[in-house]
């Protein structure tokens, strides 16, 4: 592993997390803010990553989708408790291509695909029966055909500007390595614990 490439370090740490975490090593906290700077955070799942960034998918009309459209500056945090590690990422979210969204949507379980059509994510719901009825209607509509990706459902790629690797140490003498994007690549350094 090269110390100058944060994606190489992430690859090693992510592989170790996938081997040790009981559930959802790809779970990451996503912090967004409205255009008025009101913050919110929730857990989303990392579905792809490479040197371009970190990808997750969502309903574009959900609260997070609306916040991303208003203010694309975000932060991600992976916390792998079993490894006593976390990775913090700060960057800008950009929409994935329609082809990327279509390809990923096609891999989702059918009920998840139907749910993307049935749900007005983040909006008030009178009762569970309303959602269950909508789900049944969508299931009937697409009963004999593949479920297409709805236009309001897509993905975002977080293009990192800063990636910090935090390793727990005894007595809170943690190790913090930080990589910051520069014109010629990445600059690397350490932070006090």
Q: Which domains does the chain have, with CATH numbers?
A: 6-108+151-191 (2.30.110.10)
What whole-number percentage of the chain has pLDDT above 90? 86
Question: What residues does 181 pair with on adjacent strands?
Answer: 186
Mean pLDDT of 65-69: 95
Choosing from 42, 123, 128, 172, which is the catalytic residue?
Answer: 172
Q: Is the pLDDT of residue 1 over 80?
A: no
Q: Is the pLDDT of residue 127 over 60?
A: yes
- Give the pLDDT score at 3: 65
Terminal alpha carbon distance of the chain:
23
Mean pLDDT of 68-87: 96
- Give the pLDDT score at 36: 87
For residue 122, what pLDDT band results from cuts at 50, 70 and 90?
A: confident
Q: Which of 120, 119, 121, 114 is nearest to 148 (CA)?
A: 114
Q: Is the pLDDT of residue 2 over 90?
A: no
Cα separation values, 58 from 1, 55, 108, 122, 149, Å? 33, 10, 12, 11, 11
Q: What is the DSSP letter of 172?
A: G
d(CA 151, CA 92): 22
Q: Which residues contact residue 164 at a Cβ distance below 8 angstroms, ignoring those fewer than 6 apart? A: 87, 88, 89, 176, 177, 178, 179, 191
- Give the pLDDT score at 172: 84
For residue 149, what pLDDT band results from cuts at 50, 70 and 90?
A: very high
Would you call 172 a catalytic residue per the annotation?
yes
Q: Which of 17, 161, 9 is nearest to 92 (CA)?
A: 161
């Amino acid at each position: 592993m090269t110390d100058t490439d944060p994606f190489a370090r992430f690859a090693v740490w992510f592989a170790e997390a996938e081997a040790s975490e009981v559930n959802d090593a790809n779970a990451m906290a996503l912090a967004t803010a409205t255009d008025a700077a009101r913050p919110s955070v929730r857990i989303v799942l990392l579905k792809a990553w490479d040197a371009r960034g970190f990808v997750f998918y969502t309903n574009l009309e959900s609260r997070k989708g609306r916040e991303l459209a208003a203010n694309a500056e975000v932060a991600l945090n992976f916390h792998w408790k079993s490894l006593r590690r976390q990775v913090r990422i700060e960057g800008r979210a950009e929409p994935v291509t329609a082809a990327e969204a279509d390809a990923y949507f096609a891999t989702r379980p059918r009920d998840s695909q139907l749910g993307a059509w049935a749900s007005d994510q983040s909006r008030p719901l009178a009762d569970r029966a309303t959602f269950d009825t909508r789900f049944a209607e969508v299931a009937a509509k697409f009963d004999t055909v593949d479920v297409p990706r709805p236009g309001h459902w897509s993905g975002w790629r977080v293009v990192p500007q800063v990636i910090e690797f935090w390793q727990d140490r005894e007595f809170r003498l943690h190790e913090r390595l930080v990589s910051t994007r520069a014109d010629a690549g990445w600059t690397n350094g350490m932070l006090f614990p």
